[in-house]
């Protein structure tokens, strides 16, 4: 059986890895390790997220393939090191998700989605009881800082350590902002700025907003608006960087209006 004969299956991708890392395969592929591949896997995941958020089905298809390729890469290396194989990976996945869905595969019944999520966390805690000694253990260190903060806060909230009134967070944001401007050196400013961001993540969490996703959307929005300002300047034969701040502000407002009324 070769990779081309089963190209429409995950087994085909595994077979492709057998060729790429075989005796006559690619020198680069053969020297990779789980750790050397980790940064590339992370990048591929972000590229998939970007494609999903842009609702680009062609890119989604391609990026899913890239992530699956990295999964096959990790499985192949794990097998060659005697750590696990394809069958053990899928069996572990199968067993885990059946266990965490007792309302589907057993007789347990829940009233709503919140009860489903609560039971999911309960099962997860039981599974990790021997390796996690704190509610905030097990959060991936490489998560983006905003997502890491959100995860910490969600874990702390389960113990009852959370804001009673979401409106109090607004006062805390103002307090943290004042402390930034009251800081006397760079180290203090950085610490207070971190406190401000942490508090803003709290506010987003209470409002049901994903802070990482919200900031990505704003970054993309700013990027789009900035490029359009540059384009409008060029159409008038002007160099954007040489415009006065007042002229740039006027362009910014014009771009915002164009977004609302593109025609």
Specify the pLDDT at position 159. 87
Q: C-alpha 39: how far from its chain's center?
A: 14
pLDDT exceeds 90 at position 234: yes
The yes or no reply on domain 132-209 and CATH 1.10.287.1080 is yes
Nearest Cα to Cα of residue 189 among 204, 202, 176: 176
234 to each of 225, 227, 228, 242, how far by Cα in Å? Answer: 14, 11, 10, 12
The yes or no reply on domain 10-97 and CATH 3.40.47.10 is no
pLDDT digits (tens, 9 = 90+) for 209-218: 999 999 999 9
pLDDT exceeds 60 at position 3: no
Specify the pLDDT at position 1. 52
pLDDT exceeds 90 at position 46: yes
Query: For the chain, what are the domain ranges?
Result: 10-97, 132-209, 213-260
Q: Indicate the average pLDDT of the chain.
A: 92
* pTM exceeding 0.95: no
- Among 32-36, 135-139, 142-146, the least confident range: 135-139
């Amino acid at each position: 059986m070769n990779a081309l004969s089963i190209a429409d299956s995950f087994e085909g991708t595994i077979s492709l890895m057998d060729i790429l890392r075989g005796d006559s395969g690619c020198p680069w592929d053969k020297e990779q390790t789980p750790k050397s591949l980790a940064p590339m896997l992370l990048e591929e995941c972000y590229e998939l997220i970007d494609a999903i958020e842009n609702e680009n089905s062609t890119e989604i298809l391609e990026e899913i393939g890239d992530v699956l390729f990295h999964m096959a890469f990790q499985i192949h290396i794990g097998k060659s090191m005697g750590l696990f194989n394809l069958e053990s990976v899928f069996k572990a996945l199968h067993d885990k998700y059946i266990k965490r869905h007792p309302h589907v595969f057993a007789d347990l019944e829940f009233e709503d989605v919140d009860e489903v999520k609560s039971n999911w966390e309960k099962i997860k805690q039981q599974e990790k009881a021997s390796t996690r000694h704190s509610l905030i253990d097990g959060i991936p260190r490489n998560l983006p800082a905003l997502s890491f903060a959100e995860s910490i806060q969600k874990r702390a909230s389960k113990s009852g350590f959370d804001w009673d009134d979401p409106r109090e967070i607004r006062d805390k944001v103002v307090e943290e902002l004042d402390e930034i401007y009251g800081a006397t050196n760079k180290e203090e400013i950085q610490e207070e700025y971190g406190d401000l961001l942490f508090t803003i993540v709290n506010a987003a969490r209470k409002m049901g907003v994903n802070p990482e996703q919200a900031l990505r959307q704003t970054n993309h929005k700013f990027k789009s608006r900035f490029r359009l300002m540059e384009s409008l300047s060029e159409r008038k034969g002007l160099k954007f960087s040489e415009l006065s701040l007042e002229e740039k502000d006027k362009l910014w407002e014009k771009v915002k209006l164009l977004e609302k009324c593109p025609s």
